[in-house]
Structure 1
Amino acid sequence: MAHNRMHAKLAKLKKDCPESYWGKRILAQLEYANRVSLAEDHKFDVLIEEAADYLGRRLKADGAIGQSAVSEAEQMLAGIAAEAKSYELICAAHAHIDMNFLWGWDETVSATLNTFRTMLDLLKEYPDFIFSQSQAAAYQIVEKYDPEMLEEIQASVREGRWEVTASTWVEADKNMPNGESMVRQFLYAKQYLAGLFNLDPGSLQIDFEPDTFGHGANVPETLYHAGVKYYYYCRGHNNEGHHLYRWVAPSGRSVIAYKEPHWYDSRIEPEMVLTVPAFCKQTGMKSMMKVYGVGDHGGGPTRRDIERVLDMQTWPIFPSIRFGKYADYFALTDQVADQLPVVSNELNFIFTGCYSSEARLKKANRVSENLLNEAEAFSSAASLWASAPYYGKDLEDAWRKTLFNQFHDILPGTGIPETRDHALGMSQEIAAMANTKRSAALRKLASRIDTSAYAVDNENIKDSISEGAGAGVGVMHLSRTGESDRGRGKTRIFHLFNSASAERKEIIELILWDWNGDLRNIVFQDDEGQQVDYQFVDRGFEEHWGHFFLRVLLPVTVPAMGYATYVMTEKDGDMGVLAADDYYLTGQNLPPEETYSFVLENEHVRAVLDTQRLTLVSLVDKTDGTELLDQGGSGALFRLIEEDSHQGGGNAWLVGRYRKVESLIEGVHVERIDLGPDRLRQSIMFSMSFRSSKLKVTVSLDRGSRRLDFAAECDWHEYGKNHAFTPQLQFILPLSYECERYKYDTAFGTIERAAMELDVPANSWATGLPRQEMGADKKAVTLVTDSKYGFRGTGHSLAVTLLRGSYSPDPYPDTGIQRFTMGVCIGDPCDNQALIEQAYNYNHPMIPISVAAGPGEWPARQSFFRLDEGTAAVSAIKMPEDGVLPKRWIVRVYETAGRETQVALSLFRSIRAAYFVDTLERSTNEGVVDILDSQLRFSLPANQVASLCIEFH
């Protein structure tokens, strides 16, 4: 009751008191004193009430509260002054600079430089002022565009007046980038900043993420390996409502997390102190941090902010206020680290529209990550086995661009057209660099393979035109290598390269360029001379800039992280010349027969499509005859959804309530059918128009596969409007079994979530988990994608958001042709390693290289690296950043099953030494690596990431 009475008196004073400095000053002190008393069991209520009554009388008598009244009231409150000052508020300055948010790159550069100039001027004027700044990319802007300013910043860093809070390249999204991207944020930022400012990388201990839209569960594990101890953020949920706590990853590794109690983009105001006593009581500390400074367009602390801090330092009934650094505050949290509450879940979900807005940016990110993974792996192999140069700095530059594009307003798709255009331009540079280095490595490896046995001495190649054929074709959309050498003559040699750590058996597509033999006499053989089945994809040669190509499907087996060789030649026999456009008469591609059932079936899967609507109505696991799709509805299909548009715009951030759902089942046109048990790949192509858009889909099933593939091309012209709706294209799979939970892949692992009526993030796939009582051997359906991140598991169904016509900030985000693929897979939902491997293979197709016959010392089939044992997945194979010794690899793995495992790796070359390293590739004492010639073994605890440096003889 006394507290309520006090609150009412203070409220009346505030209401009746005219605006003035002295009035604000004493009212702020009274309110703060009241909070201190509340934290101390109302110890000072009497003093505060007496002072409030006195001020009420003075206000009534004088009509205002002036300096004399304030001085008297402060004297009356002297008994609480010591307790008030026992609390400390550290004011940490920051300028939040969004990279290309509602402006383009040129404005980002201008905002950065102008902000830093202002801060340097204020540092000169106010000797006690301290400034902190995050994001390595911001410092790179200064280095590139204003090197003289960089010298001033470097001097301020040396003086301890400018704190470098960056430990990441940018303040990145923490849900969609894969684990390796998260590692590279720290690796390249710390490496760069340590050199730029002569800092110990170990001193960069804060991951500063004030505006990031949610935070994945394995962030603490990644921070641990990067030597980062503290995590600052503002947006994100922890169900317990803590502001200071220990955030624990599934591995058990943890960081101290500080969730901003106010707002990161704020000013210095007297009201900021009111939460200090309660915060300190909750945390067991006597200090709290106030983050201040103007953003998101930079600016930083203002003169008024600094002057207010200096003034409030003199107020007697206020906390001790000082300028300080983030590191100052976090160092104090170490003293209560063992007493902090524990949070062990992901900090999601914030802004679920960000997982699907701006589809091109999502695809660019996936392609960038995939290409860099392969470029580094094959370049490492070529450097070690073929003495090829390793272009580490070039790959680092491509990584930096990739990391920049993962900024929390770029990858999430919450920018303007200029934001998107700049990111897509950079993604082309990334692809060019990664593809170039990958191609160079593959050519170097291929040059060592002995193919002299396939040379034909009497073969006439003088009329060959295949040199230069298809130069660069397919690179943009298919991530092919774009090789210049396509072989020559009638004997063609193909090396198939596999970047995965396990052997793969798949059907792949080869392109045969400018071949002038008899198509009826084509023969494919593996490296042992065994004949291999094949299937033509098209009905003849296609023309490409004066060259002609033919696509062929071939079942191949390629060893782990290695290659296999396949040869195409012409068998003996003279059957006459076959016109290219008539070759279907050979029986390889006969005109379709009339059919009234659309069934794609192999030894593992039977899939049935509705003949009128082309929806997937049945998916049977033939191993036990289980039907995996719900038989009570329309089947798996594409849907056009109208989302409620949120008032005030900003719907790129938010997926609205589904106000209307339209199944795309009308007017479906079948364009091509290629069915039959003899086919390597069975397929049906169909198209449909809806509103202003058109969708073309090819559904296919390969021999031996447990995955039904959907390849889609959508000409999208659907646009949302404020106060109306936001259009969305979605694919949904209604399942035949009840889902207890849903599993998704995340950075360095998987996560299970309950059913939710909202989009949730995943790196590439989602699985519906059957209820436990259905049996441990129950098969489940996984939906894997090549470029999508927003999934929805609810109502015993899986759905993925494909395109959205959000109108703000970008009014036309996905206009035009959009290409994407999905796979509907049948498998064991408990085998995380298999699920992760399946997704890796889906996103990393094997790479064919066509070469001419020649001598070499290597066999026709070889592996460079293989995961032999352990529930682990490989995240990266690369050369060390220091580039000192050429015969070293960095290999990064992570545990997938949630239990300790023994990992065995074969490297097919004698190993001299192997040891664990951290993110910065420095030796650690994490454990022991056992070496036996070319194999190494080590223990990998549950859910942990491990990086190894391997030295070869």
Structure 2
Amino acid sequence: TQLDLIEKYPDYIFGASQPQHYQFMKDNYPEIYSRIKEAVKKGQWELQGGMWVEADCNLISGESMIRQILHGKNFFKEEFGIDVNNLWLPDVFGYSATLPQILKKSGINYFLTQKLSWSQFNEFPHHTFNWRGIDGTEILTHFPPENTYNSELDSEFLVPAQTHFKEKDFIDEFISLFGVGDGGGGPKPENIELGRRMADLENSPRVAFDTAINFFDRLANHEKDVDTWVGELYLELHRGTLTTQALVKKQNRKLEWKLRAVEMLWSCLPLENYPSEELDGLWKKLLINQFHDIIPGSSINLVYQNTHKEYEDIQGDCDSLIALAGQSLFEQYPDSFVVANTLSYLWTGMISIPESFDGFSVLNENGDTVCVQKTKDALVAFVELEPLSFSTFNKGQALSQELELGHGLTLENNLIRYDFDKKGQVISAFDKESKKEVLESAGNILSLYEDRPNDWDAWDVDFYYRNALVEIAEATDTMPGSNGKVVQELNLTFSVGDSSIIQKVKLYPHSKRLDFDTKVDWKEKHKMLRVHFPVNVRAEQATFDIQYGHVQRNTHENTSWDKAKFEVVGHKYADLSDHDYGVALMNDCKYGYFVKDNILDLNLLRSPNNPDPDADQGKHQFTYSIFPHEHDLIRSNVIRESTCLNQIPIVFSGVRSDNGIPVKLDGNGLELTVLKKGEKEDYLIIRLVETSGRHATGSLKLNGTLTECDLMEWNDTGSQTNVEGSVSLSFSPF
């Protein structure tokens, strides 16, 4: 249709984003694709938006954001010879404060959306502005003042937009997103005819057909004139998309971490063997399912049948690639196993070990015996793994191992004591180091709420849900579980609504982190399950993990802007700290938080009926954790602990290792997030991030030539350094 329209109207220019669509067209309709390429050459078809798809920007990781742009821009450049330098996301449900830095370091200079016009309570104060992210990077941003992506391009849409355009005193043009945008189809002939007639219509906004990039380049002349917005672009709507279709969100996060591990393992082998083609396909399969109606949970059931199948395929292929890498990296040896820690943090905790070690002691590489314990589920060991390491553990002497069960409803180690009651609630958490009671009142409160939003079932959580409490879950059974030197466990069973919840609560040696491994058989309709902990901390702001950084949000409701943020995004943790003490609520696959006053609250499950009547029905498994700590967030181990919760070490059975990971990182607040082969050449890409929001120094150990480059791996941004041993590093915040 659009190809016919640009022939009929030579002055009309069509624009389309999402390289994945172009790939579909190339694969399935090569003749039409050739016509598109010709139209692009003639300047009648514009390539827009640098991401592989118009992805959700709340839920996906920082690395996924980079890969969206990496694959998107590479496709447009390779297929069309064009470097697209704008991000085009008109319909995405909020925008992370990390984005400006990622965009600018990916060669994207302009950003467009109109979605914040949908906000429930507060009108955004700008249409054109500089958007400043967490590190201080700014990007020129435009919100089309028609407040829609379905404009008819007539006076009914354009006159109010011109009247209310907030920068009209010094900017004399804005973009109109006209045609059928939501649902597809694009502009219609009558839209184009109207636009032509309004090109010079007296007492009416003037319409001119042009490309987005020409508009942005003209807009850049006003970059110093417009105001600046600092921090996230929070949509005061569609908050339910942080939780709906929980399995999709869980699988996405697990696969983001697994793909990272695959890349790192293969980077330890000769690069000529690196599975570039396979990983390219796996990443693109993950990226398409990050589209802003798939991962948010707002698609029909048929979509999720396909999504879950694709996730299973990615999982299976990643597992195969990990096994293949292990075969090349490690030597077969039946009485040993290797544990790979792909994090740049010291990893301390419990791992499951091969069953062949049952009845034997386990020795680390120094010959020291590590603690081993038999639980009902597995044989486990308590290990301490150096950052970025392969550690070999060997079979020792015969050792009798019996299942030992605990007594009572207390979990305790040298640092902390947790007391539970018969309801399954934590009635006390006493920090022995600080001599402080962590909880103000009982925690692990599992609450069932009525969840019937006014307008958008799968999309929304409305603020009045907190006045619609249906039931607080109380345990029907509390049983001590395994009790030993590796882990202490408490088993809790709840019945709530028509659903059941089974929790295995775990405390480990030398740690204050308490894990709630949770299984839910969910049979609700229009209900929401949340957990909360009232803590003995008062702070005006809480800190939330986001992509490659964190943001702070007010815990009070002084303004309408604060009140609107009753459901906000957090990835691995939300932390409430004063100067001396804090508590973090962590998770391995959840995103929707409520943190007001001293309440840490996490959204666990929803059960909307539309557009998928079976949304979230059935079995779920996830972990959330409470982590009390001394000091504030930055001086604590919250970031490390939450990362370790999400990236469990990989165990290779029947092998031993003389190899290592070829880089080492040293420095507080620094994290090595990616080690992979370059997209086009045989070199290693090392991605380093400052995670604490402060100036940091450190060192990177490796041998070779080191060059700083942009996130697209196209342009060197620093001089080459020959390294034999280590190189000093200096980072600004984030």
Give the TM-score normalised by structure 2: 0.93
Match of 2:41 among 158, 166, 183: 158
Does 1:845 pair with 2:636? no
Aligned match of 2:393: 566
Does 1:342 pair with 2:228? yes
Aligned match of 2:403: 589
1:484-537 per-residue CA deviation (whole Å, 9 max, x = no partner) reads xxx4xxxx3111110101332322111315x7xxx6x52211122222221111
1:348 alignment partner AA = Y
**Where in structure 2 are the equivalents of 1:467-546 lying within 5 Å?**
487=334, 492-513=335-356, 522-538=360-376
2:551 match: secondary structure: strand
Higher share of residues assigned helix: 1
Aligned match of 1:622: 432
Q: CA deviation at 1:903?
A: 3.2
Does 1:420 pair with 2:304? yes
Shift in CA distance, 251/270, structure 1 to aligned 2, threshold 3 Å = same
1:753 match: secondary structure: strand
1:292 match: secondary structure: coil
Does 1:284 pair with 2:170? yes
Q: CA deviation at 1:280?
A: 7.8
**Where in structure 2 are the equivalents of 1:592-671 lying within 5 Å?**
595=407, 597-610=408-421, 612-631=422-441, 634-643=442-451, 645-658=452-465, 659-662=467-470, 664-671=472-479
1:343 match: secondary structure: strand
- Do 1:829 and 1:835's aligned partners in 2 also have CA atoms closer than 8 Å? no
Shift in CA distance, 929/762, structure 1 to aligned 2, threshold 3 Å = farther
2:507 alignment partner AA = L
Does 1:735 pair with 2:498? no
Alpha-carbon distance between aligned partners in 2 of 1:607 and 1:176, rounded to the nearest angstrom:
32
Does 1:214 pair with 2:94? yes
1:588 match: secondary structure: coil
Alpha-carbon distance between aligned partners in 2 of 1:602 and 1:281, rounded to the nearest angstrom:
60
Alpha-carbon distance between aligned partners in 2 of 1:240 and 1:133, rounded to the nearest angstrom:
26
Aligned match of 1:893: 688
1:814-847 per-residue CA deviation (whole Å, 9 max, x = no partner) reads 1111000112112243317843222221111111
1:351-410 per-residue CA deviation (whole Å, 9 max, x = no partner) reads 1111001101110110111111111111112236xxx71111211211111111111111
Match of 1:331 among 201, 217, 240: 217
Identity %: 25
1:569-589 per-residue CA deviation (whole Å, 9 max, x = no partner) reads 4439xxxxxxxxxxxxx5732
Alpha-carbon distance between aligned partners in 2 of 1:507 and 1:940, rounded to the nearest angstrom:
33
Q: CA deviation at 1:335?
A: 1.0
Q: CA deviation at 1:323?
A: 1.1
- Do 2:371 and 2:485's aligned partners in 1 also have CA atoms closer than 8 Å? no
- Do 1:502 and 1:561's aligned partners in 2 also have CA atoms closer than 8 Å? yes
Match of 2:280 among 388, 396, 400: 396
- Do 1:414 and 1:653's aligned partners in 2 also have CA atoms closer than 8 Å? no
Aligned match of 2:156: 271
5+ unaligned residues in a row in structure 1: which ranges?
Answer: 1-117, 452-486, 539-549, 573-585, 721-726, 771-775, 944-953
Q: CA deviation at 1:432?
A: 2.0
- Do 2:127 and 2:166's aligned partners in 1 also have CA atoms closer than 8 Å? no
Match of 2:52 among 169, 172, 183: 169
1:668 match: secondary structure: strand
5+ unaligned residues in a row in structure 2: which ranges?
Answer: 556-562
1:618-675 per-residue CA deviation (whole Å, 9 max, x = no partner) reads 11222121111113xx3332111123x1345534333452233255443521345334
Aligned match of 2:183: 297
Give the TM-score normalised by structure 1: 0.72
Alpha-carbon distance between aligned partners in 2 of 1:277 and 1:661, rounded to the nearest angstrom:
44
Q: CA deviation at 1:313?
A: 2.4
- Do 1:179 and 1:748's aligned partners in 2 also have CA atoms closer than 8 Å? yes
Alpha-carbon distance between aligned partners in 2 of 1:377 and 1:625, rounded to the nearest angstrom:
42
Q: CA deviation at 1:892?
A: 1.1
2:93 alignment partner AA = F
1:144 match: secondary structure: helix
Q: CA deviation at 1:346?
A: 0.8
- Do 2:454 and 2:462's aligned partners in 1 also have CA atoms closer than 8 Å? no
Q: CA deviation at 1:222?
A: 0.7
- Do 1:693 and 1:718's aligned partners in 2 also have CA atoms closer than 8 Å? yes
Shift in CA distance, 339/590, structure 1 to aligned 2, threshold 3 Å = closer
Match of 1:812 among 597, 604, 614: 614
Poorly superposed stretches of 4+, deviation over 4 Å: 237-240, 927-932
2:468 match: secondary structure: strand
- Do 1:498 and 1:562's aligned partners in 2 also have CA atoms closer than 8 Å? yes
Q: CA deviation at 1:442?
A: 2.5
1:212 alignment partner AA = V
Match of 1:708 among 514, 517, 537: 514
- Do 1:767 and 1:783's aligned partners in 2 also have CA atoms closer than 8 Å? yes
Shift in CA distance, 932/312, structure 1 to aligned 2, threshold 3 Å = closer
Shift in CA distance, 283/136, structure 1 to aligned 2, threshold 3 Å = farther
Alpha-carbon distance between aligned partners in 2 of 1:317 and 1:337, rounded to the nearest angstrom:
29
1:853-892 per-residue CA deviation (whole Å, 9 max, x = no partner) reads 7xx7x27xx453322124222221111000x33xx21111
Moved more, 497-506 or 795-804: 497-506
Alpha-carbon distance between aligned partners in 2 of 1:287 and 1:406, rounded to the nearest angstrom:
33
Alpha-carbon distance between aligned partners in 2 of 1:832 and 1:661, rounded to the nearest angstrom:
37
Does 1:822 pair with 2:629? no
Alpha-carbon distance between aligned partners in 2 of 1:507 and 1:272, rounded to the nearest angstrom:
60
Aligned match of 2:560: none
Aligned match of 2:678: 880
1:227 match: secondary structure: coil
Match of 1:248 among 128, 132, 144: 132
**Where in structure 2 are the equivalents of 1:143-154 lying within 5 Å?**
143-154=26-37
1:191 match: secondary structure: helix
Does 1:408 pair with 2:292? yes
Alpha-carbon distance between aligned partners in 2 of 1:804 and 1:273, rounded to the nearest angstrom:
39
- Do 2:463 and 2:566's aligned partners in 1 also have CA atoms closer than 8 Å? no
**Where in structure 2 are the equivalents of 1:27-426 lying within 5 Å?**
118-199=1-82, 201=83, 204-236=84-116, 241-262=125-146, 263-274=148-159, 275-276=161-162, 279=165, 282=168, 284-349=170-235, 350-383=237-270, 389-426=273-310
2:503 match: secondary structure: strand
Shift in CA distance, 667/742, structure 1 to aligned 2, threshold 3 Å = closer
- Do 1:832 and 1:896's aligned partners in 2 also have CA atoms closer than 8 Å? no
Alpha-carbon distance between aligned partners in 2 of 1:245 and 1:919, rounded to the nearest angstrom:
24
2:476 alignment partner AA = V
Q: Root-mean-square deviation (CA), in Å? A: 2.2
1:304 alignment partner AA = E
Q: CA deviation at 1:713?
A: 0.5
Q: CA deviation at 1:898?
A: 2.4
Aligned match of 2:558: none
Alpha-carbon distance between aligned partners in 2 of 1:779 and 1:703, rounded to the nearest angstrom:
21
1:890 match: secondary structure: strand
Alpha-carbon distance between aligned partners in 2 of 1:622 and 1:427, rounded to the nearest angstrom:
44
2:280 match: secondary structure: helix
Q: CA deviation at 1:193?
A: 1.5
- Do 2:267 and 2:676's aligned partners in 1 also have CA atoms closer than 8 Å? yes
- Do 1:693 and 1:715's aligned partners in 2 also have CA atoms closer than 8 Å? yes
1:382 match: secondary structure: coil
Aligned match of 1:5: none
Does 1:934 pair with 2:725? yes
Paired residues in the alignment total 717
Does 1:799 pair with 2:606? no
2:403 alignment partner AA = N
1:878 alignment partner AA = K
Alpha-carbon distance between aligned partners in 2 of 1:499 and 1:852, rounded to the nearest angstrom:
18
Alpha-carbon distance between aligned partners in 1 of 2:75 and 2:164, rounded to the nearest angstrom:
40
1:389 alignment partner AA = N
Shift in CA distance, 822/647, structure 1 to aligned 2, threshold 3 Å = closer
